[in-house]
Amino acid sequence: MASLHTRVTEDVGRSIVDGAVPAGAVLLSDEIERRQGVSRSVIREAIRVLGSMGLVESVKRVGIRVLPAESWNVYDPTLIRWRLLGPGKGDQLRSLTELRSAVEPMAAELAARHADPSVSAELIEVAELMRVVGSSGDVSRFLELDIRFHRLVLQGSGNEMFAKLDEPIAAVLSGRTDLGLMPDHPHENTLQLHADVADAVAGGHPGQAREAMELIMRRTYAEVQPTWTAASGQ
C-alpha cells in the first residue's frame, strides 16, 4: 500500500509542480484511479498528502482542485525535491540559496552564544570528518556529513524556527549533489571554513562564527548562481 500511495503521490504531485496540470484544473478521483490502476483508498491517501503540501484541495461535488503556487508549502522537503527535478529547478535553487545566505550566518552567531557543549563537540567532530571524507571522494558520505553539520548549527542556534529549516536545507544540499553541482573533492578553503565555524561556535566567538558562515554562503552562492541563471534563460 505504501509504495502504491507513494507512486501516485509522486506522479500527480510532479505533474502539478512541473506545470503539466495547471492551477485551477480539477482532477477526478475516478480518473486517477483508472489511470493509476489503484484503489480508492490509495487515491485518498495520496490526495491527503498533496493537500498537506498545499498543492490541491478537495471540493464537494466538484473534485480535486489544483491550487496556485502561492498556496504551496514551499518548505516541504518533497516539494523541494520535485522542483529541483523539474523546470522549476532554477527558481528553487535561487530561493533556497538566498534563504540560507540570510539565515545561516545568524544561526552560526547564535550557536556560538547558545549551543550546548555536546553540540559544539559534535560540530568539531563532523567538520574533521568532512575533511577526511572530502579527500577520499566519497560524495554520498560527504553529503551526510554536510547535512549533519548545517543541521547542528541551526539546532545549536537555540532558535526553534531556524531549527525547523533543517529539512529544507538538507533537501537542497541533496539536490545539489544529485544535480552534479557538488565537486567530488570539496575545495580546501570550503573545508577550512566549516572547521572555522565549528571552532568559533565551540570557543564562544559569535562574530567569527558568523563571518566564517557568511564566507561559506558567499562561496555557495557563487557556485550555484550560474545554474539558476542558465535555467531561467537570463
Q: What is the pLDDT of residues 170-195, one digit of tens each?
A: 999 998 888 887 777 888 999 999 99
Same domain, 67 and 81: no
Same domain, 17 and 119: no
Quote the pLDDT of residue 234. 47
Quote the Cα angle for 177-181-183, to 5°: 85
Query: What is the spatial distance between Cα 102 and Cα 172, in angstroms, rounded to a whole number?
Result: 15
Same domain, 66 and 117: no
Same domain, 81 and 164: yes
Helical residues (DSSP H) of 18-88, grouped into ranges: 29-36, 40-52, 77-85
The residue ranges of the chain whose pLDDT is under 50 are 1, 234
State the residue range of the domain holding 112.
Answer: 77-232
Cell numbers for 159, please give them: 532558535
Quote the pLDDT of residue 150. 98
* Domain final position from 43, 71, 99: 71
Domains: count for the chain: 2
Q: What does the pLDDT look like over 221-232, one tens digit per residue?
A: 998 899 888 876
H-helix or E-strand spanning residue 26? strand 26-27
Which amino acid belongs to residue 176? R
Same domain, 218 and 127: yes
H-helix or E-strand spanning residue 117? helix 117-136
The model's pTM is 0.90
Cell numbers for 209, please give them: 562564527
